[in-house]
Structure 1
Amino acid sequence: MAVCARLCGVGPSRGCRRRQQRRGPAETAAADSEPDTDPEEERIEAPPAPRCSLLELPPELLVEIFASLPGTDLPSLAQVCTKFRRILHTDTIWRRRCREEYGVCENLRKLEITGVSCRDVYAKLLHRYRHILGLWQPDIGPYGGLLNVVVDGLFIIGWMYLPPHDPHVDDPMRFKPLFRIHLMERKSATVECMYGHKGPHNGHIQIVKKDEFSTKCNQTDHHRMSGGRQEEFRTWLREEWGRTLEDIFHEHMQELILMKFIYTSQYDNCLTYRRIYLPPSRPDDLIQPGLFKGTYGSHGLEVVMLSFHGRLARGTKITGDPNIPAGQQTVEIDLRHRIQLPDVENLRSFNELSRLVLEVREQVRLEQQEGQHEDKEPAAHPAQEAAAAQQPAQSGQGQPFVLPVGVSSRSEDYPRTCRMCFYGTGLIAGHGFTSPERTPGLFILFDEDRFGFIWLELKSFSLYSRVQAAFRNADAPSPQAFDDMLRNIQALTS
């Protein structure tokens, strides 16, 4: 504001000239007694630039200048003078701020019919609810979830993302709107719950604290049906699956239990969401980090976040199950210990694969006993050296892959070639996250968008496929913020 005041001619610069004009005779004589400058320098000295005030600029130019400033700075600018305050009521300024800061591409001129201005949209909708934009994990017991809150047209909408139906891991994510916020009138924004057979209807959003907010439906009776929750659940099955409960109960029992829990608890109670970020990427990452859909036996498909941390890669559950809850680190891959697979015929033997993995586990154990630094390259194991000599000449060339006999998989539609494999560990536990332990396994990188993990102790295979959805406002502000987020969501379920 001080800069604006000086430009307008009301700040210290004017006062400085007045002080010069008020100098007395003694001060004037002292100034005159100063040595004269060189005449040659006076001749080449440029004349002072004419002073220009923002107040002298035409309103059209001021509108263009103000429209280029961040919307958060404009209220302070309005306090400078009456002229600025009057110009800042121009809708062109706020239309541009809505578009550039929040991506509103709708024709905002339509709002004039409803009496709502672009300034109202910016101040009462977009700016007020800016803190809930982004990616969130709902607190639904061990199950977690994935919510993306975005500006969609003239609405702010919370989209719940669900994995595809088991076992179709390559299918796209399913998504449904949970709530929306929009301006029905000039006074304030309206929050609406999007679920229920009478919806949409009145809801409520409260920002609990930084990176946490809650939603509540104010008309939970609109989620009720005359036949009770059994009818509600059967109706949901018909709409979601297009089949009856009896047709799919035995095939997808665990997934049905999960979805029933979410369906019956999410809309009756106040639900809390905690912010999550997409993992940052670096040039030396094995593949692009991000979200992946993975198969988990009878638990169906779950969403896992793959991130890289130096010589380690970690898979963190965004959605979970009663055994391993959301937030826990499901797999950890040691990128220092690459495993070269045998030929296809030997790979069919589970014992042969188990021998290779357990040899590397013993090597890792010895390295830990010797206190080797995590970032230090370990000495090559003799078996590893022999395997390295058999690797393809081209680093990008794939090698044949087949699951060993006896290893179970939810889907037989897995890739038959892979790029490389690494030693890793997987987290297993009993119901209720009892007796958790990390067991050895094999990480298989198929391509940029798919990887797998063989759990030796369970004799099972999980296939993961990249989530291709574009999530907005989901990037971490810094690597440290992402690491803090991982620790926080894991601590909630420990």
Structure 2
Amino acid sequence: MAVCARLCGVGPSRGCRRRQQRQGLAETAAADSEPDTDPEEERIEAGAAALSGAGVGRSAGPSPPPRCSLLELPPELLVEIFASLPGTDLPSLAQVCTKFRHILHTDTIWRRRCREVLHRYRHILGLWQPDIGPYGGLLNVVVDGLFIIGWMYMPPHDPHVDDPMRFKPLFRIHLMERRSATVECMYGHRGPHNGHIQIVKMDEFSTKCNQTDHHRMPGGRQEEFRTWLREEWGRTLEDIFHEHMQELILMKFIYTSQYDNCLTYRRIYLPPSHPDDLIRPGLFKGTYGSHGLEIVMLSFHGKRARGTKITGDPNIPAGQQTVEIDLMHRIQLPDVENLRDFNELSRLVLEVREQVRQEQGEAGPDGGEGRGHQSPQEPRGPAPPSAEPPTEKGRGPGEGAVAAAAEQPAQSGQGQQFVLPMGVSCRNEDYPRTCRMCFYGTGLIAGHGFTSPERTPGVFILFDEDRFGFIWLELKSFSLYSRVQAAFRNAEAPSPQAFEDMLKNIQSLTA
């Protein structure tokens, strides 16, 4: 109750009322706290009057109606009445009797109190992407007790993609008084301090720290950098000096400089789900070569699936479409022994790419893409040992399609053995050894600073409902993705078109 009292801007109680004064105080509180113009409260007041009139006696002579105490009203009606009273009256009202005290602990009353304070900040609840150059990020703004907290979500330490996400608070809005709140910056090493939030529009807001000296550590920049390495990478400076020194200095510089000044956030939505999707869309964490782990959003668009980067790196910035999967062209991988030969896998994929190019030339640049999946083509590649090789005339090497494989159920636990071809680099050797199905896809590669971007062929490997992989043929690299299991509220797109517009918006910022 003391916490609730602070929410309403009142101090601690000064003691209990005498029991013989409680009845009079209840009547006084009800009389002094009448609602102003709220139609709902007028309805409640009319109901209370009707209850009072119901007790009129049936004597022949006129007699004054008996007085109706608040204690005689149903608890549901008392909740409505108390929720409409000024917050400063509620602590005193709670001292009247046990019944009032119990009713005043009802969540409904305090939710209304919170909504009054949260009204100004209600639009910032949900998922956001910070504008930090090419690096992006994932911010989740939630209500937590008497606070609105902005949590920055970060992937686990490289290369453990199956580990849970890491997160830390960047700011919080403290619900101190009625219709007002205090914004606090949580970044730095000296505890919460004064900050500011400006809501630019429905899908954009900015934060600013008013006490940036709280971000500094006594040991200076060197100590800050070492602390950051331990927290963000789980390693010491000496461990990674020879690997990523230049990149780490750049990342740390951008990270600290942005939080010393104003930082802008843009809203992002979780992808909508459809019954015919290959797997449930959502956020995944994946390995990106020397860049560590990054966050990717997997979404489905008719005959294609796309992976959009929520976090990025100096080569491929956040917001770009990192992989695209052609759901119309399945690939049947060879048996495990032949799969170890990278040249064999490359041959199969390049043949599919040539077929895709021919089909796109006939159907137009968009390939006739539309909403609603069609049945994928027969998986391309050599027939498994248990199947008969194709006999149709006109089929070239590697074009054998096995109808049985095309109809293979895509259920967990059913599939074929999988192993990475020799020469393909992988930061995490603990990848699944069975897969459900594979598709032809393309991956985006570019030079430092997003120079000379191009889409190159690859293989999308679906392992199970929560994991998939992608083999980049040109880079001879394998990326493993694992689903982000965190539950995000207030993150659903209001419409499919709103989600598509969001994707275009975040991609245009780094194009």
- State the superposition RMSD in angstroms: 12.2
Kindly indicate whether the alpha-carbon contact (under 8 Å) linking 1:7 and 1:52 is maintained by their aligned counterparts in 2. no
Alignment of 1:34-183 (within 5 A): 61=77, 64=80, 93=109, 95=111, 121=117, 126-183=118-175
Kindly indicate whether the alpha-carbon contact (under 8 Å) linking 1:143 and 1:258 is maintained by their aligned counterparts in 2. no
Q: In the TM superposition, what is the alpha-carbon distance from 1:87 to its structure 2 partner?
A: 15
Kindly indicate whether the alpha-carbon contact (under 8 Å) linking 2:157 and 2:232 is maintained by their aligned counterparts in 1. no
Kindly indicate whether the alpha-carbon contact (under 8 Å) linking 2:128 and 2:265 is maintained by their aligned counterparts in 1. yes
Q: Deviations over 1:13-44 (max 9, x none)?
A: 99999999999999999999999999999999
Gap change, CA 1:335 and 1:12, over 3 Å in 2: same
- Corresponding residue SS for 2:136: coil
Q: In the TM superposition, what is the alpha-carbon distance from 1:253 to its structure 2 partner?
A: 4.2
Q: In the TM superposition, what is the alpha-carbon distance from 1:488 to its structure 2 partner?
A: 0.5
Q: Deviations over 1:166-191 (max 9, x none)?
A: 11111111100000001234462000
Distance (whole Å) between structure 2 residues aligned to residue 452 and residue 28 of structure 1: 69
Distance (whole Å) between structure 2 residues aligned to residue 481 and residue 313 of structure 1: 18
Q: In the TM superposition, what is the alpha-carbon distance from 1:365 to its structure 2 partner?
A: 0.6
Listed as ranges, the gaps of 5+ residues in structure 2 are 46-62, 361-388
Distance (whole Å) between structure 2 residues aligned to residue 88 and residue 470 of structure 1: 31
Distance (whole Å) between structure 2 residues aligned to residue 267 and residue 8 of structure 1: 32
Alignment of 1:218-367 (within 5 A): 218-240=210-232, 243-251=235-243, 253=245, 256-257=248-249, 259-367=251-359
Gap change, CA 1:76 and 1:321, over 3 Å in 2: farther
Distance (whole Å) between structure 1 residues aligned to residue 168 and residue 161 of structure 2: 19
Q: Deviations over 1:101-134 (max 9, x none)?
A: xxxxxxxxxxxxxxxxx5754xxxx221101000
Q: Deviations over 1:464-484 (max 9, x none)?
A: 111111112111111111111
Gap change, CA 1:306 and 1:393, over 3 Å in 2: closer
Gap change, CA 1:381 and 1:197, over 3 Å in 2: same
Distance (whole Å) between structure 2 residues aligned to residue 28 and residue 239 of structure 1: 57
Gap change, CA 1:152 and 1:29, over 3 Å in 2: closer
Distance (whole Å) between structure 2 residues aligned to residue 447 and residue 147 of structure 1: 27
Kindly indicate whether the alpha-carbon contact (under 8 Å) linking 2:35 and 2:84 is maintained by their aligned counterparts in 1. no
Distance (whole Å) between structure 2 residues aligned to residue 382 and residue 297 of structure 1: 33
Kindly indicate whether the alpha-carbon contact (under 8 Å) linking 1:450 and 1:464 is maintained by their aligned counterparts in 2. yes
Q: In the TM superposition, what is the alpha-carbon distance from 1:85 to its structure 2 partner?
A: 22
- TM-score of the superposed pair, with normalisation by structure 2: 0.71
Gap change, CA 1:316 and 1:30, over 3 Å in 2: closer
Distance (whole Å) between structure 2 residues aligned to residue 35 and residue 213 of structure 1: 35
Q: In the TM superposition, what is the alpha-carbon distance from 1:236 to its structure 2 partner?
A: 2.5
Kindly indicate whether the alpha-carbon contact (under 8 Å) linking 2:131 and 2:264 is maintained by their aligned counterparts in 1. yes
Alignment of 1:369-384 (within 5 A): 383-384=398-399
Listed as ranges, the gaps of 5+ residues in structure 1 are 98-117, 369-373
Q: In the TM superposition, what is the alpha-carbon distance from 1:198 to its structure 2 partner?
A: 1.8
Distance (whole Å) between structure 2 residues aligned to residue 390 and residue 161 of structure 1: 39
Q: How many residues align?
A: 463
Kindly indicate whether the alpha-carbon contact (under 8 Å) linking 1:398 and 1:419 is maintained by their aligned counterparts in 2. yes
Distance (whole Å) between structure 2 residues aligned to residue 41 and residue 219 of structure 1: 44
Q: In the TM superposition, what is the alpha-carbon distance from 1:362 to its structure 2 partner?
A: 0.6
Kindly indicate whether the alpha-carbon contact (under 8 Å) linking 2:41 and 2:81 is maintained by their aligned counterparts in 1. no
Distance (whole Å) between structure 1 residues aligned to residue 89 and residue 394 of structure 2: 58
Q: Deviations over 1:386-440 (max 9, x none)?
A: 7847968989621000111111111111111000000000001111111111111
Alignment partner, residue 456 of structure 2: 439
- TM-score of the superposed pair, with normalisation by structure 1: 0.73
Gap change, CA 1:414 and 1:80, over 3 Å in 2: same
Kindly indicate whether the alpha-carbon contact (under 8 Å) linking 1:9 and 1:53 is maintained by their aligned counterparts in 2. no
- Corresponding residue SS for 1:358: helix
Distance (whole Å) between structure 2 residues aligned to residue 438 and residue 221 of structure 1: 45
Q: Deviations over 1:242-292 (max 9, x none)?
A: 643112323554773464134322311100000000001011100010000
Q: In the TM superposition, what is the alpha-carbon distance from 1:340 to its structure 2 partner?
A: 0.3
Gap change, CA 1:447 and 1:56, over 3 Å in 2: same
Gap change, CA 1:430 and 1:89, over 3 Å in 2: same
Gap change, CA 1:458 and 1:51, over 3 Å in 2: farther
- Corresponding residue SS for 1:14: coil
Distance (whole Å) between structure 1 residues aligned to residue 341 and residue 150 of structure 2: 48
Q: Percent identity?
A: 92
Distance (whole Å) between structure 1 residues aligned to residue 129 and residue 38 of structure 2: 74
